[in-house]
Amino acid sequence: MNPEVKRQLVLKILLIACIISTAIHFTDNYLYIEKYPQPDLITAPSIYISWIIWTGIGVAGYWLYKSGRFWLAYLCLVIYSFCGLDSLGHYLYGAMSEFSMKMHLFIITDGLTGLAILGFTLWSGLVLREQFRESGSSV
């Protein structure tokens, strides 16, 4: 398997992991909204609407990356990474003891998958500099 296809596969795996993790957590947050410490501006509809929008941005980022449109892909993937990373924001609104073990698991898993998407994007853009190689520019 060539390196380009391997990187696309890694991104696809990270994206699927993040989609699954956030779908589980956002569903739990939606169903048990009154149990999650969070700001008052978070409502049940805002939870599922934000998940749909963020997930669409993440899928678009993957498609753009696979198509070699790296700058737009990076933008989408960085935005999407916050779908997982923002889950850590729950900890700003409640003591650790206010969360069940299930909530901690979902929040931490979201944070890790979001961090993985962000890490992949930074690695691709800043270390591999794929956006320059594909356009034929020298680095």
The answer to whether position 37 is within a domain reads: no
| Contact call for residues 103 and 28 (beta carbons, < 8 A) | yes
**What is the rounded average pLDDT of the residues 119-125?**
95
| Contact call for residues 122 and 81 (beta carbons, < 8 A) | no
Domain harbouring 23, CATH code:
1.20.1270
Domain that holds residue 75: 3-31+44-135
Domain count, the chain: 1
SS3 95: coil
What local confidence, expressed as pLDDT, does residue 1 receive? 82
The answer to whether position 16 is within a domain reads: yes
pLDDT digit string, tens, across residues 31-63: 999 999 999 899 999 999 999 999 999 999 999
This prediction's pTM: 0.90
What local confidence, expressed as pLDDT, does residue 36 receive? 95
Mean pLDDT of the chain: 93
DSSP 36: S
The answer to whether position 39 is within a domain reads: no
d(CA 43, CA 41): 6
The answer to whether position 38 is within a domain reads: no
What local confidence, expressed as pLDDT, does residue 133 receive? 61
